[in-house]
Structure 1
Amino acid sequence: MGNTGNNSSVPTDLLVACFHDDDAFKYRAYTITYMLLFPVAIVSNITALAVFFLLGSRRISASCVVMMNLALSDGCFSLTLPLRLAYYFRDGVWDFPDWLCRLCVFGFYLNLYTSILFLTLLSVLRWLAVNHPLHHRALVTPLRTLLVCLGVWLFAGASSVTFLSNGVTIRKGFPRCFEPSSPSSWGRVLILNYVALALGFLLPFLTIIVCYSRIVLRLATRFDGGPLGGVRRRTGQRSLRLVAAVTATFLLCFLPYHVIRTLHLHAVCGEWDCGVTVALQRAVVVTLCLAASNSVVNPLLYYYSTRTFRNHMRDAHSSLQRRGSTRPHPALSSRRNTLTERKALD
């Protein structure tokens, strides 16, 4: 894994050509992944947004506000997948305007880091609810949470705006997208990678670890202190489900991509051996597919960690059944009353 002898941080055209010779693997992997992700992502996130909007302002909680923004981010990203699919079906030929290429690049990173930050915010809210319930009731409101979410959008958007400069390039006589404009731009990408790694991944990940460690300790203390009441036990179970779901999302979708991307950029800028660089590029492709899959993983988080969301989906299903049947659903009104009484726990 040694350097070729050139101490420059700018990769040579020969090295860049080395990993472009492996484009077939990248195009095939992305095509299969996006074909699987697009229908699931678009349907699940539109459904999630519809459910959140149907909750109404009176029943929506702070956590639901965060999840709504997360679903919006994933839904917007899923709308760019058909353009990416068309590009990879054409073996890397971009037939669309330059601004669409820039928007797709920007959209991926905006979705990646808004997802990370919204999951972090969700973790902080759960930590407050479990460890500091009085402060949670006094400070956390849907409106304040919405303002924080707007701040996340602005921060992630401003941090990702540099990717709007990466548009269509010409390689081997064809217009290409999703590629650095020149070999010299890889050094700039490496610097941006470390900024994103520190602020967009490591800091949120450490925040989540701290929050969830305190949540688990708090819940363990409650269990050790004697039998829990029904409401407290259910709240603890939901918190533990959220801990497991968000941690798994970070470990599966975000951690591998950031680690491998950093190694690959060092391989390119440091002019490592061609075989090693190509192997790392393949690893980047696989981990980027995992990162993109967070758009279909997040709806599972809404369903399994939030009772309000789960019950409202059941109510919607029951309403559809009632429209096709003259018999009323006896549990519908009871469940709606329960939702109103327990919304603060979600």
Structure 2
Amino acid sequence: MTERWLTPPSLLDNHTSVTAELLPGNRSSACFHADDAFKYRAYSVTYLLLFPVALLSNIGALVVFLLQTNRRNSASCVVMMNLALSDAGFSLTLPLRLAYYFRGGVWNFPDWLCRLCVYCFYVNLYTSILFLTLLSVLRWLAVSQPLRHRSMATPARISLACLAVWVFVGVSSGPFLSNGVTERAGLPRCFEPSSPASWERVLILNYVALALGFLLPFLTIIGCYGSIIRRLTARGGPHGNGLPDNSRRRNNRRRSVRLVSLVTATFLLCFLPYHAVRTLHLHAVCGGWRCGVTLALQRAVAVTLCLAACNSVVNPLLYYYSTRTFRDSMRDAQSSLLSSRGSRTSFRPVLTWTRRRNTT
């Protein structure tokens, strides 16, 4: 299961850089390494923009979640905390990637750091997918079966489910730790395969990874959200806790629609293009397509991989726009900061006047 899940992405996070003997008919390796400059620029610009935003927003989200004593033990809050932790951990590896691409693809750090960067990318990618899926299932239970949601979605059970996601993805990503620094053109390289396998075999494994890592969670989310939308748009929709409170129902409906929209957009913009283009690129390599087509697909892989990395800054929007208590906590923190600044500012004239009076 581990090898099926994660072998294809490891070859593609290596930016599909392969040697000439891998290509059908021993075609020229110019179809791959001659276009490294485009990939390096794309990754450099993307990670340079992502790093400060992803780090600050996800650490800030963790702080807000921890300060919400009344919400900390809710099921959705537990899932969102784990999602923010995953994104924050990935953002910490971005400076190493930036240093690598700014140096033109030369890795001057220890070998274990190279392995860790590759490992963290896919741990973040697939934990994000599974945590979003879990969050969608929880929302479906809350809207469609509220009584069952209360009995099943306890903080202890959801914490165990999140732990299972971490263990499953962490163990499944183990093969990434075996791919470290390699030599190419006399220089140490990272994110490139050390012992490339048969591309036909990689293509088969890619479909297994595509099914387990993307399609199954995506179909689960579509099913949950289809049921939620039917429930919310039906006449006489759900009454929160059996109470015909129109204001409460409107707020619940609004939060559900926001969650549906943001999670669906995340899958369509961040995850779907990467998995689709990755599959096409493997077909191009295994089928011996023209070099121009292969290069175009390779560039598309680089762009869609950048989109996949952007999920680390999209998720904080999910917390803000779909969770009322999170917005309230952010506003309270902003108000406290502004009030503290105002008190310090108003105190300065008094302090200055007191000093002048004492000197006279």
Q: Distance in 2 between matches of 1:86 and 1:225?
A: 52
Q: Deviations over 1:103-154 (max 9, x none)?
A: 1111111100000000000000000000000001111112211110010011
Q: Kindly, what percent of the aligned residue pairs are identical?
A: 73
Residues 193 and 303 of structure 1: CA distance in aligned 2, closer, same or farther (over 3 Å):
same
1:158 Cα deviation (Å)? 1.5
CA distance in 2 between counterparts of 1:12 and 1:72 reads 46
Look up the SS of the partner of 1:324 in the other structure: helix
User: Does residue 66 of the first structure (1) align with residue 79 of the second (2)?
Assistant: yes
Instruction: Give 1:281's aligned residue.
Output: 298
- Summarize the Cα distance change of 1:149–1:125 in structure 2 as closer, same or farther, 3 Å threshold: same
Residue 56 of structure 1 aligns to a residue whose secondary structure is: coil
Name which of 245, 250, 253 aligns with 2:262. 245
- 1:11 Cα deviation from its structure 2 partner: 4.5
Q: Match for residue 22 of structure 1? A: 35
TM-score by length of 2: 0.84
Can you give the 5+ residue segments of structure 2 that lack an aligned partner in the other structure? 1-20, 345-360
1:185 and 1:163 map into 2 onto residues whose CA distance is 17
Counterpart of 2:312 (choices 290, 295, 300) is 295
Matched residue type, 1:156: V
Find 1:155's aligned residue among 145, 156, 168: 168
Structure 2 distance, partners of 1:148, 1:107, is 20
Q: Deviations over 1:29-84 (max 9, x none)?
A: 10000001101000100100100111126654211111110000000000010000
Aligned to 2:142: 129
- Going from structure 1 to structure 2, the CA distance change for 1:217 and 1:23 (only over 3 Å counts) comes to same
The answer on whether the counterparts of 1:212 and 1:243 sit within 8 Å (CA) in structure 2 is: yes
Contact 1:180 1:186 in 2 (8 A): no
Q: Following the alignment from structure 2 to structure 1, what is the Cα–Cα distance between the partners of residues 278 and 304?
A: 8
Aligned equivalent of 2:47: 34
Counterpart CA distance in 2 for 1:230 and 1:200 is: 39
Q: Label 1:153 to 1:58 Cα distance change in 2 as closer, same or farther (>3 A).
A: same
Which of 205, 221, 226 pairs up with 2:234? 221
Q: Secondary structure at the match of 2:126?
A: helix
Amino acid at match of 2:66: F
Q: How does 1:326-345 map onto structure 2 within 5 Å?
A: 326=343
- Secondary structure at the aligned position of 2:68 is classed as helix
1:2-21 pair list within 5 angstroms: 11=24, 14-21=27-34
Q: What's the CA shift for 1:323?
A: 2.6
Q: How does 1:95-174 map to 2 (within 5 A)?
A: 95-174=108-187
Larger Rg: 2
Deviation at 1:236, TM superposition (A): 0.8
Say what the alpha-carbon RMSD is for the aligned residues: 2.2
| Aligned residues of 1:11 and 1:270 also touching (Cα < 8 A) | yes
